[in-house]
Chains A and B, each alone.
Chain A
Amino acid sequence: EVQLVESGGGLVQPGGSLRLSCAASGFTFSNSWMHWVRQVPGKGLQWVARISGDAGSTTYADSVKGRCTISRDNAKNTLYLQMNSLSDEDTAVFYCVRDKGGSYYHGVAADWGQGTLVTVS
């Protein structure tokens, strides 16, 4: 069974930084494209970033480009999102997502973690 468990969210002041983590299990993590998707409470969803299985390819939404870094540690089966220069517009629940394609990119969110809330205030 695929399990994705996020951690690292919390309250941070504007301009601050936060690193989110996602512990993955139940699948071959190193072969899987992974993503971060966020949701402003009560609002819609936004894809934040993606990373290939070997970490050789990353892509960011324009809204976070230059402020966020997605990374992974395949030895630890863990996905990360480093977020800097946070503003109140970054307040959201951040979800760790496994791509349906596995080793090839599909762009479909097959499995989601429970989410971690980031509040910038």
Chain B
Amino acid sequence: DIQMTQSPSSLSASLGDRVTITCRASESVNKFLNWYQQKSGKAPTLLLYDASTLQNGVPSRFSGSGSGTDFTLTIDSLQPEDFATYFCHQSFTTLGTFGQGTKVELK
């Protein structure tokens, strides 16, 4: 199985900050890397897919980049509704695998 490792596991940030979360795959997943946001007690929602394509309705302050094994999720100008846990997910292999999550908290 391809292992997905996110860093950091958690971070503290202030409103308006730029936040970057990284996701590393144990082997190449090409461009097939997706990002999900999960708020406390809720189901995850899709933010970006295929590394950099924004899902419909997702604010443009979210962006993604990378290919192969190294990917980043960037949130420009952190908003109150962005405090949540973020998961990366590779869909290169059948069913895929998720990262362990990065919790973004208010500093």
Flag B83-107 by CB within 8 Å of A: 1 or 0 each.
Answer: 0000101010011111111000000
Measured in the bound complex, the distance between the Cα atoms of B96 and A59 in whole Å is 11
| Contact partner, A46, options B34, B42, B45, B98, Cβ 8 Å | B98
CB of B87 within 8 A of CB of A50, answer: no
Q: Nearest residue in A to B91 (C-beta to C-beta)?
A: A107
Q: Nearest residue in A to B100 (C-beta to C-beta)?
A: A44
CB of A110 within 8 A of CB of B95, answer: no
Measured in the bound complex, the distance between the Cα atoms of B98 and A50 in whole Å is 16
- Across-interface contacts of A46 in B (CB, < 8 A): 98
Measured in the bound complex, the distance between the Cα atoms of B36 and A61 in whole Å is 20
Q: Nearest residue in B to A6 (C-beta to C-beta)?
A: B43
Binds B, one of A18-26, A82-90, A112-120: A112-120
Enumerate A85-121 residues with CB–CB distance to B below 8 Å: 95, 100, 106-115
Interface size class of A (residues with CB under 8 A): 20 to 34
Flag B69-91 by CB within 8 Å of A: 1 or 0 each.
Answer: 00000000000000000010101
| Contact partner, A110, options B46, B87, B94, Cβ 8 Å | B46
CB of A44 within 8 A of CB of B87, answer: yes
CB of B43 within 8 A of CB of A115, answer: yes
Q: Nearest residue in A to B94 (C-beta to C-beta)?
A: A59
Beyond A44-B87, A59-B95, is A100–B46 a contact (Cβ under 8 Å)?
A: yes
Residues of A within 8 A of B (CB): 44-47, 49-50, 59, 61, 95, 100, 106-115
Residues of B within 8 A of A (CB): 32, 34, 36, 42-46, 49-50, 55, 87, 89, 91, 94-101
